[in-house]
Structure 1
Amino acid sequence: MRVEGKVVVVTGGGSGIGRALCQRFAREGARRIVVADLNAANADAVAAEVQGIARRCDVGSEADITQLVEETEATVGPIDLFCSNAGVLLNDPDPDDPASAPNRDWELSWCVHVMSHIYAARALGPRMAARGDGYFLNTISAAGLLTQLGSGPYSTTKHAAIGFAESLAIAYRDRGLRVSILCPQGVATPMVQDVMETPAVSDGVLTPEEVADCVVEGLEMERFLILPHRQVAEYMLRKASDYDRWLSGMSRLRAKPIARRPPERRAD
């Protein structure tokens, strides 16, 4: 897919990767960009930058996602590309216990990282299928392919998000829809401050703009897996070829100190 002339929706578009995606899509000549974010002021600011439309949206609410889709298609036109990008990182209160986060943290992570993708597919998938064309870009994380030390909710829900994206890609492939998942490691957003001493940033921290460049390339090639950090592909192979060795190595890495600070509610 080339973004030029397309109607694009970006959730979590008010900052970080989402903002960079909106800016890059504007340079690529997108016909209209809808910037959706829980923070209405941020959405307004980015929409002004890209001559787009701002929408306040809580991606954990099916009603909000449904309204976002319906209003966009009614007032702007058929959505060509839906970027489900919002995210949240909530650390384990006890770093030695991946089940220690309270239920509210698990529920929020599940809603933002899994159900938001399901809501978008439920609201938009049949419309795209009827048109025989459409694209979902789901921002997930290398944590979904590997793991996230220090956050059971983040790692678990990111794995689940990949499982759903695979199902979506398979089910709709012969009806003209394409799906890509964006799986970076460290990116210079507020979220990365929570993981500065973990393996997530050991291969370097990319700028959101560098990630957006990779997205445009990946969309043009219609690759399912978009990896701004190329090393992740090798790590996946190591994990698959010897799972026990990989777990042992991650256990050793876990023993290193982890810097912690209060998380942002939405940070991708």
Structure 2
Amino acid sequence: MAGSDVVRGKGVVITGAGRGIGRALATRMAAEGARVVVNDLDAAAVSEVAAAIGGVPVPGDAAAEAGVAALVESAREHLGAIDVWFANAGIARGFGLDMSEADWTASLEVNVLAHVRAARLLVPEWLERGSGRFVVTASAAGLLTMLEAPAYSVTKHGAVAFAEWLSATYRHRGIIVQAICPQGVQTKMLEETGPLRELLSHDTALTPQDVAETVWQALQDDRFLILPHPEVAKYYATRATDTDRWLAGMNKLQRRLEADRL
């Protein structure tokens, strides 16, 4: 497939679409001719996005088992069929080993299990017709790590790992799986990272629209890893080929963060 044909006339669902990357994805997909269902916990925000792009708002929880099921059912009612699922909703909770059990649980639910629950409901239909696309918004943290944020790092690794498993298992049966792994993006989440903000913006904090453009280009060739920050490929390669060197470099950054707080 080429150009707008990737999504033109297709049924597309985007979670976490009330703002940031999700809103930018929804805007771009609608502009390319997709029929878009937008989802977010923030009903007012998602309704505003839907009105702006001519999409359908379906507010609600895209992580809990019942919430995912309700979203899939509603989306199918509006779209007829779901062709593309952007598992974009994500959270960053807590810092360090002292973060709470509740924050760990919420991170696992939203950043990993939401994807598993959606795939369970989507994949059987896609296998029957031999096509479907599942796009996960992970993070460079899912390929590398995010200092001081263990739950975010672990769950984003989990998001990438699940996407890899889906691709390895179903790609020969027409299911395309992709993982978006940006570093710093100009969103509310970046603003709330405190001292990590400068570090995450080292290779330039992109706009959500920049990320959506990179995603759009990646839809044309079905590449698995979507890297809005191309530098991440180099960091990922170093991590794989010289892990101790990479860990030493990350620890150096950690020491710098600690020194800056003194």
TM-score, structure 2 as length reference: 0.93
Structure 1 position 165, deviation (Å): 0.6
Q: Does the aligned pair in 1 maintain the 2:94–2:100 contact within 8 Å?
A: no
- Match of 1:179, SS state, is strand
CA distance in 2, matches of 1:108, 1:62: 13
The amino acid across from 2:69 in the alignment is T
Partner of 2:44: 41
Moved more, 117-126 or 190-199: 190-199
User: Which of residues 47, 69, 92 is equivalent to 1:66?
Assistant: 69
Any idea what SS the aligned residue of 2:256 has? coil
8 Å contact from structure 1 (residues 114, 158) kept in 2: yes
Q: What TM-score results when the alignment is normalised by the length of structure 1?
A: 0.91
Correspondence 1:13 to 2:35: no
Task: Determine if contact 2:167/2:176 at 8 Å carries over to the other structure.
Answer: yes
Counterpart Cα distance in 2 of 1:157 and 1:54: 27
Aligned to 2:237: 237
Shift in Å at residue 256 of structure 1? 2.4
Deviation readout 1:141-188 (Å, 9 max, x if unpaired): 000000001111100110111111111111111211100000000000
Which of 247-256 and 224-233 deviates more? 247-256
Structure 1: stretches of 5+ with no match in the other structure: 93-97, 261-268
What root-mean-square deviation, in Å, do the aligned CA atoms of Structure 1 and Structure 2 show?
A: 1.5
Letter in 1 for 2:126: M
- Post-superposition CA distance 1:167-211 (Å, at most 9, x none): 111111121110000000000000011336433221010000000
Q: 1:147 maps to what in 2? A: 145
String of CA shifts for 1:229-253, please: whole Å, max 9, x gaps.
0000000111111111111110110
SS at the partner of 1:43? helix
Do the aligned residues in 2 keep the contact of 1:195 with 1:201 (CA within 8 Å)?
Answer: no
Aligned-partner residue type, residue 12 of structure 1: G
| More displaced 10-residue stretch of structure 1: 190-199 or 140-149 | 190-199
The size of the alignment, in residue pairs, is 254
Q: Distance in 2 between matches of 1:35 and 1:74?
A: 14
Aligned partners of 2:129 and 2:10: how far apart in 1? 14
Equivalent position of 1:208 in the other structure:
208
Letter in 2 for 1:190: K
**1:95 paired residue number:** none
What is the CA distance between 1:59 and its match in structure 2?
2.0
**What CA deviation, in whole Å up to 9, does each residue of 1:34-61 have, x standing for no partner?**
0000111111000001111001121221
Structure 2 stretches of 5 or more lacking a match?
none
1:26-175 to 2 correspondence within 5 Å?
Answer: 26-30=30-34, 32-92=35-95, 98-175=96-173
Secondary structure at the aligned position of 1:251 is classed as helix
Q: Which has the higher helix share?
A: 2
**Which residue of 2 is the match for residue 185 of structure 1?**
183
Q: Percent identity?
A: 46
CA change 1:232–1:196 in 2 (3 A) is farther
- Residue-by-residue CA offset, 1:76-101 (whole Å, 9 max, x unaligned): 21111000001111231xxxxx3221
Moved over 6 A (4+): none
Assess, with a 3 A threshold, how the Cα gap between structure 1 residues 196 and 99 changes in structure 2: closer, same or farther.
Answer: closer
Distance of 1:239 and 1:62 partners within structure 2:
35
Deviates more, 1:242-251 or 1:225-234: 242-251
Structure 2 residue aligned with 1:4: 8
User: In structure 2, do the counterparts of structure 1 residues 196 and 220 end up closer, same or farther at CA, with 3 Å as the change threshold?
Assistant: farther
CA, structure 1 residues 212+196, in 2 after alignment: closer, same or farther (shift >3 Å)? farther
- Contact 2:62–2:71 (Cα < 8 Å) also in 1: no
